[in-house]
Amino acid sequence: MRFPAIVILVLGFATMTAAQSTAYWDYAGKTGPLRWGDLDPAYKACSKGREQSPVDIRHAYLNKALQPIEFHYLAGPVTVENDGHTVVVHVRPGSYIVANGVRYDLVQFHFHNPSEEAVKGNLSDMDIHFMHKSSDGKVAEIAVRLSEAQNFPNATLAMLWPHLPAKPGTTEQVSAMVNPSGLLPADRSYWTYMGSLTTPPCTEGVRWFVFQAELSISRRQLDTFAAIYKMNARPLQVLRGRRIEASE
């Protein structure tokens, strides 16, 4: 199932968590994406920023010098939180990636319905954003797009989904050994560009890696998340001449 992407000319990302935001924001109405920049001075990048995310990926340039991302994800118990905007999975310290020679520690991952990233104008059914931070505070996000395959539920999601907190501000503990690697496609070719967080305060300077391959998710798994968040995706942002590069 695909959704046509609607490009809205808004200049504004973040997905730290609601706790790091000041003024209330949402995905629709008077506190929706078109108004984020007006809700709080801390959110000014949402309307004034020049390198905002998410974007529509097209006309990517092949860069043979881009190296594969090294994944060093560990299995372990996790905490699942409904932060009022999405479902966030907080992982224990120890998991990390190495990208372009830099180590970024995995902090958390969370979900958007539908996907925020588009490829040639098409959105996927959902996506997962893996947030990483380097020792000097730089942020790297990995986006994995999810598409419905009726008879192919994702095994890692199957471990998490019974613990999705329906009420904002609540958490659940998952004692099972959850390995985030189970939410990565086998083909890890990617597109990369400089952007921002996709929720207020829309901080820029984020290195994005969007996997080219999609991951399967079942209709039941999609419906389970949609029962909590029917729509929690920011509209596409203007690329403004930024270069999107593709790995081999």
CB 148 within 8 A of CB 218: yes
- What token pair was written down for 47? 């309307």
- What token pair was written down for 18? 């609601």
Distance between CA 145 and CA 158 in Å, rounded?
17
The DSSP result for 151-207, as a single string, is: T---HHHHHHGGG---STT-EEEEEEEE-GGGGS-S---EEEEEEE-SSTT--EEEE
Find the helix or strand (DSSP H, E) in which 81 lies: strand 76-82
Neighbours of 107 (CB within 10 A): 17
Distance between CA 114 and CA 42 in Å, rounded?
26
Strand, coil or helix: what is 80?
strand
Marked catalytic residue, from 59, 85, 110, 129: 85
- 85 is known as an active-site residue: yes
Task: Write the CB contacts of 4 (distance below 8 Å, at least 6 apart in sequence).
Answer: 121, 122, 123
Distance between CA 140 and CA 138 in Å, rounded?
7
CB 168 within 8 A of CB 83: yes
Catalytic residues: 85
